[in-house]
Structure 1
Amino acid sequence: MKKILSFTVLLIFGFQFVQAQSYSPDRPGIGTGSSITPQNMLGLEGGIQFSNTDFNQQFDIGQLLLRYGLTEQFEVRALLGSYTSFDQELLGGSRTVTGFQDMGIGAKYKLLSNESKIDLSALAEISLPVGSDEFTSNEVVPSIGLLADYAFHETLSFSSNLGYTFGVGDLEDHWLFTVTPGFTITDNVGGYFGYAGRYYGNFEQHWIEGGITFGLNSGVQLDANIGYDTENEITFIGAGFAKGF
């Protein structure tokens, strides 16, 4: 009986300790944060996004990401993707396709702690060709990245990513580079703006993006975000949530 009681007490206090630790979401924004999900904590993130060009419109619902902290320095990740509706204007009419995007798995490892105001992490992910025929890449695609955060002040921070996606099959390799200043507006409200570039051999994307986050007393973070690709004239607007359990 004492063993059962002791185990129950440890379980309760352990759960409360995990809940008390801070969960730092990866969303919103094109970049990924360097923070690691606290040990034994599960993070759930998701959202919606609408993208628009002169000839195409796309709506994504899901953007689901699961994160679990195995240690204080290491987390595993499941990228569950989105359900997508894509409308394309064609000569003489339009075409609409719907389906699920590819999913993926990954891991993030803390390389440097924030004792010197700098957080540095490594990210590795693999995209799996499990999506619908209209949206799958038909390839297992690995990617790696280096994620950095620097705190200038309690109210001002700076984030940057350098990533590389390997070319597989007919898919071209490409680089990702992001620069994202973030700032505190109130105790529960924050904002960010920045640049994100994707660089292919004969094609580039140059995104200017920004957004705002709202922290609720329940520990849920809500967000709204917007971006524009100056190279290809693509606009997106989105919203989402994040919560650690």
Structure 2
Amino acid sequence: MRKLFIAFGCLVLSPSAAWAQEREYCPDRPGIGTPACTMAPGKASLEVGLGDWSVDADSAERQDVFLTGDTLLRYGIADHAEVQLGWTALGFARTRDRLTGTVDHRSGTGDVTVALRRNLANPDGSGLSLAVMPYVTLPVGREPFGQGDLGAGLKVPLSYELSQSWSLATTTSFDAAVNEDGSGRHFAFDEVVGAQLELSKAVSVTAEYEFTLDRDPASHHTEQVGGLSLAWQPADDLQLDLGANLGLDHDAQDAEVYFGVSRRF
């Protein structure tokens, strides 16, 4: 009888365990949007931005920012849910005043972000996948890498596979964003639309468009950004990536180039 129960238990558990092992690796990197997939229960993903350079210039000044160690840790707590912890380890900023020629150098760390992603349909990201993701940003970093106050928001990522090669994705965000002066919050809305093409089983390229409506008390404005990224998975649990974003109007950041690595455990 004991052997019978053991055999029955193996039959019941084996499909679930096999399914968890066969779930394809779905990192958050690269790109602007957020995927709807979640990590399998007990699985972790460590995703690190090894280098990120951005530039933003106007008639008054030019600011170059370089980030390294932009880290996201994801852990599956259920078949349809994961928790996330994000932090930027180190940043360098160089700001040059165009009128006086003076240059200001700063360095520091970024804020900590804590999030929960709850998938509502197809947690492996196949077919039509939908999730909700509330998050909180803790102000532990210093300006210009940290926001200066507590922030929060809700993201709603959605993806749909058109074929074996093509898929579409959107990320809708509602944010209590920190004011530009680092004190208090205001409403901000963000929408990202993207299309992904799998060039092979290991290589994919993604094109995205982002629209942001920002109601900061100091400056109500909208921003538009275009992005292109490339991901390569040489192994089932490893991904390398690179990408670039370009501001499409004068309110958006001018340009950004980045690369990183993701590893599943």
Q: Secondary structure at the match of 1:95?
A: strand
Residue 35 of structure 2 corresponds to which residue in structure 1? Answer: 33
| Overall identity of the aligned pairs, in % | 19
| Contact 1:22/1:38, CA 8 A, preserved across alignment | no
In structure 2, relative to structure 1, the CA distance for the partners of 1:134 and 1:230 (3 Å cut) is closer
How far, CA to CA, are the matches of 2:114 and 2:264 in structure 1? 19
Q: Distance in 2 between matches of 1:192 and 1:136?
A: 28
Per the TM alignment, residue 15 of structure 1 is displaced from its structure 2 partner at its CA by: 9.1
Counterpart position of 2:243: 225
Q: Which runs of 4+ in 1 moved over 4 A?
A: 13-20
Partner secondary structure for residue 203 of structure 1? strand
Q: Find the counterpart in structure 1 of residue 209 from structure 2.
A: 195
The residue that corresponds to 1:205 in the other structure is 223
Deviations 1:106-162 (A, max 9, x none): 100011227982100001110001113553323221110111000000100001010
How far apart, CA to CA, are the structure 2 residues paired with 1:59 and 1:235? 12
Would the aligned equivalents of 1:46 and 1:62 in 2 still touch at CA under 8 Å?
A: yes
SS of residue paired to 1:196: strand
Structure 2 CA distance for aligned equivalents of residues 103 and 116 of structure 1: 30
C-alpha distance after superposition, 1:64-92 (max 9, x if no partner): 00000001111000012241111111123
Give the whole-Å Cα distance in 2 for the aligned partners of 1:117 and 1:206: 29
Whole-Å Cα distance in 2 between the matches of residues 167 and 53 of structure 1? 20
Question: Structure 1 counterpart of 2:258, which letter?
Answer: G
Q: Quick check: which has more Rg, 1 or 2?
A: 2
Q: Is the 8 A contact 1:121 1:146 kept in 2?
A: yes
1:57 aligned residue: 64
Change (3 A) 1:191 1:93: same
Given the alignment of the two structures, is residue 105 of structure 1 paired with residue 114 of structure 2, yes or no?
yes
Structure 2: gaps of 5 or more residues: 1-5
1:23–1:38: 8 Å Cα contact kept in structure 2? no
Rounded Cα–Cα distance in structure 2 between residues aligned with 1:215 and 1:86: 32
- Number of residues of Structure 1 aligned to a counterpart in Structure 2: 235
Displacement of 1:214 in angstroms is 0.7
Q: Name the counterpart of 1:46.
A: 48
What letter matches 1:37 in structure 2?
Answer: M
Which of 50, 73, 78 is equivalent to 2:85?
A: 78
- Output the CA distance in 2 between the equivalents of 1:238 and 1:195: 17
TM-score normalised by structure 2 residue count: 0.82
Equivalent AA in structure 2 for residue 187 of structure 1: K
Q: In the aligned structure 2, how far is the partner of 1:116 from the partner of 1:235?
A: 32
| Amino acid aligned to 1:21 | R
Matches of 1:243 and 1:198, distance apart in 2: 30
TM-score of the superposed pair, with normalisation by structure 1? 0.88
- The SS at the match of 2:162 is strand
Unpaired runs of 5+ in structure 1? 1-5
Distance 1:200 1:217, change over 3 A: same
**Is 1:135 aligned with 2:145?**
yes
